[in-house]
Every structure is written in structure tokens, then in C-alpha cells.
Homo-oligomer: A and B are copies of this chain.
């Protein structure tokens, strides 16, 4: 079968790989119908060394179940399913608390933790299929497919930022980052009733989409200037909740600058740093809280899917380019050069 491999920074190829097959009784084999490229895939695209490659890529997909292991009880051949980016049994104590990203099962991992599988491919072996996969009540050719694919990661991740940040009706929110997760954090904050949503981003086509998804204000400036502008927009004290959807240190510093005393910085951009300011001057003196982490998107699929099926939200708008599997390498380049926001891969 064909699959996407990253050999090193900037070097992505689509090649023949051994066919994915059922290995364990709890596995399902899924023929992928739609996948995509994630902003987080750009981190290795910038920094991966040849020693770490070639690596199978992709952690977001929708597909059709082709075969199930003998212990799989909730899925059957022909089911259309979406997969979260984290594999989980959905029965352990953490899964029952809706923290599936901390599932204690020994097979639980993120997709990048399985060396010989990836979602930017023709097929994939899904461990713990009963716990991981969620059936979609539509046909494979549904026009809702792009929006439903965002349930695999970016919508659930933006929603996690807003939920764990405590966004409630009336909240004043700042979102840092105009990538797909930032934009869907905007949409999630709106869904949860935020009164003010300031989007910090520099790409006008993206911030225009942000306004469409619910941003009430856009701040293109960065650093001290950007912080000052957000403070002006928020009556001088900053936002109750800051959703940080980038992961680089300047974004964290911006979050510290625009958060209100007693407020929350909710991070869903994967931190590209280990240590950061949390002492008296940054967080402690103002009782600023910190939240966030990898989103347990499995927990949010049931909650979010009805909003998509009803047409209330259309998160698939973050896909501004569509390609096929052979177009994946060009998709990486386009996203890296910011000519594409997020690339959908139809198979």
C-alpha cells in the first residue's frame, strides 16, 4: 500500500510500504477515505534529523472498517469511522474521567507512537478499536466529511482549550494563533458563549475566517505592541481566558501578557520548550492559572458531532486546499509556506 514518510526536515515522500494488517484481536483494519496534514506535523518538518527517519506520518483520518479482530464487538466491516489522534481503551479510570490521552492500557499511545502506522496512507491498523473509533452516521460521500474529519484532532483540540480554560457564557477570551486549532478555538469559545473573542494572528485570510467563526476583534501585532492592544480592547486588565494554540515561547509570553489577574492560560499548542516563566512576576503574583495539554478528543466527539450534523458549526472551513495522497509532500510545503491553512487528503 501507499503511505507518507518523512525522511528528515523538509523531505516528505509517498512510497510503497507493507500492507497494514490485523495483529491483535482488539484491532481493526481501516481503509482510509480522508486524512489531512496537521500544524503539529510542521514541527518535525522543520527539525527532524535523518537519524529519526523515515517516519510514517499523519494522525487524523476517517475511513471504512475493512476487517475487525475477534475481540472487537462494536464495529463491523463497512462501518464509516473517525479516529481520535490518541488510541485508548475508553474503559480505564482515566478514560472514564474523559482523559483518554492518559489511558493506562499498554497499547494506548498517540499515532506517532506506532512506528509502522500513520494516517496519511491508504490503510491503517487501529489498536483498541472498540475504545478508539467512533462510528459516523453519514455516507462516505457526505458533504460534511471535512467538518467530521476535524473531530479527529483540531476541533476537539480547540474545544479542549476552551473547556479546560473555563470558557462560559460572558467570558472574555483571547486566542493566540490563527492556525486551524486557533481558529477552531475561536469557534469553540463562541459555542460556549464567550462574549468577547480577541484573535491574535497575522494572516488576514485566516483572521477573516476567524471573524466568520466568532472572533469579535483581531490583533495582528505581536510582542509588547500586541499585548498593549489586547489590554486596550479588554478594559486595561486583559482576558479572563487565553487560549494558546501555537506552542512556541513567544506565544506563551504573549499569553502571560494578555491574561487578566485571576485568569487562565489554556495551552493546546504542543510546547516547544521545557521551562518557562511561572514565578511571582509572571503567573503567581496575579493568581494566573495554567491549564491544557493533549486534547482527549475522544471525549468530545459525542458532544461536538451533533453540532456538525445539524449544520450549526462548519469546522471543515479550515481546509482551504484538497489533494490526494500523492499530493501530500506538496501539501506539507504549502502549509509550511503558509499558502495553505490546512490540507485535506482525499483517498
Q: Which residues of A contact B (CB under 8 A)?
A: 93-94, 97, 99, 101-102, 164, 237, 261-262, 267, 270-271, 273-294, 296
Contact = CB atoms under 8 A, between A and B. Distances in A.
Contact of A280 (B270, B288, B289): B270
Nearest to A93: B237
A112 to B, nearest CB: 12
29 contacts: A94-B261, A99-B261, A99-B262, A99-B287, A102-B261, A102-B287, A164-B287, A164-B289, A267-B284, A270-B280, A270-B284, A271-B279, A271-B284, A273-B279, A274-B279, A274-B281, A275-B275, A275-B278, A276-B276, A278-B278, A278-B290, A283-B290, A283-B293, A284-B294, A285-B293, A286-B293, A287-B296, A289-B289, A289-B290
Given A97-B262, A102-B286, A276 B273 contact: no
Nearest to A274: B279
Given A94-B262, A262-B94, A262-B102, A274 B285 contact: no
A133 B280 CA distance: 25
A329 B273 CA distance: 44
Nearest to A289: B291
Contact of A294 (B281, B282, B285, B294): B285
Contacts of A279: 271, 273-276
A108 to B, nearest CB: 12
A301 to B, nearest CB: 17
Contact of A278 (B101, B102, B262, B271): B271
Given A274-B279, A285-B293, A289-B290, 12 more contacts: A102-B262, A164-B289, A271-B279, A274-B277, A274-B278, A275-B278, A276-B276, A278-B290, A284-B294, A286-B293, A289-B289, A290-B290
A242 to B, nearest CB: 14
